[in-house]
Structure 1
Amino acid sequence: MKTALISLSMRGGAAALALTLAQLAHAHAYPTHQAPAAGSAVPASQKDVAIDFDDSLEPAFSSITVTDAHGGAVTSGKTVVDPSNSKHMSVSLNPLTPGVYTVSWVAVAADGHRTQGHYTFTVK
């Protein structure tokens, strides 16, 4: 009887831990789609960078910056989190010239958890 209770208690504890970890995994916003995509080659007519996330974003603390190979900013205006889709964030770009560009993003989920990352794309 005592062994069965201990076993049941251990299984319950393991289930509670798994549930907690699953909730923590969903507490951060991670990219699901990027345009332009990481490593892609795009024409100089590229007008913006847009990233979709798997969780709603807090607009005041989420951002995208895009820099050229020399570290100069090429964004025009502020990052926008779409009011009708709080999982979509974008920023407009100045005219681009051929070269490699770095996209750096910060995503703060609606619950306050922060993630960040970066990737590059090339303009032909």
Structure 2
Amino acid sequence: MLCAAALFVAQSAGAHVFPSQREPAAGSTVSAPAQVTITFDGPLEPAFSTLTVTDAAGKPVSAGNASIDAQQPDVISAPLRALAAGHYTVHWVAVASDGHRTHGDYSFDVK
């Protein structure tokens, strides 16, 4: 019985995807990046996963729609306009290939 419960928890936890790498990194101060890229710990569903970046006033600064790399289905990126110095927030929604949804955000600064 305990083994079955542990297996269920392991399968449930594996159904959701979470960021494993962020570029720029959370909390970092960087020169203006050309794009934001997040690598997740599993493949994403392109039709439902999103990535947006906003400035300190909450205005979008993306230069186009986010996309998932066809060769690496666990990587999503969004191109950015030329960013001025300031504080930016990355908002992401990740839908795993099995339909489970996670979301979050993080910030970085441009010097």
Same fold (TM over 0.5): yes
TM-score tier (shorter): over 0.9
Q: Distance in 2 between matches of 1:96 and 1:121?
A: 12
Could you tell me which of 67, 74, 81 is aligned with 1:94? 81
Match of 2:10 in 1: 22
In structure 2, runs of 5+ residues without a counterpart are none
> In the alignment, does 2:17 pair up with 1:32?
no
In the TM superposition, what whole-angstrom CA distance separates every residue of 1:32-91 from its partner, at most 9, and x where no partner exists?
0000000000112x1000000001000000010100000110001111100011001000
Size of the aligned set, in residue pairs, is 111
Match of 1:80 in 2: 67
Per the alignment, in what secondary structure is the counterpart of residue 91 of structure 1?
strand
Q: Distance in 2 between matches of 1:100 and 1:77?
A: 20
Match of 2:30 in 1: 42
Pairwise CA RMSD: 0.5
Q: Distance in 1 between matches of 2:62 and 2:26?
A: 17
Could you tell me which of 71, 94, 103 is aligned with 2:58? 71
Q: Distance in 2 between matches of 1:102 and 1:31?
A: 15
Per the alignment, in what secondary structure is the counterpart of residue 60 of structure 1?
coil
**Identical columns (%):** 51
Runs of 4+ in 1 over 6 A off after TM superposition: none
Greater strand proportion: 2
Q: TM-score, normalised by structure 2?
A: 0.99
> Counterpart amino acid of 2:7?
L
> Counterpart amino acid of 1:19?
L
Q: Distance in 2 between matches of 1:119 and 1:32?
A: 13
Q: Distance in 1 between matches of 2:75 and 2:59?
A: 25
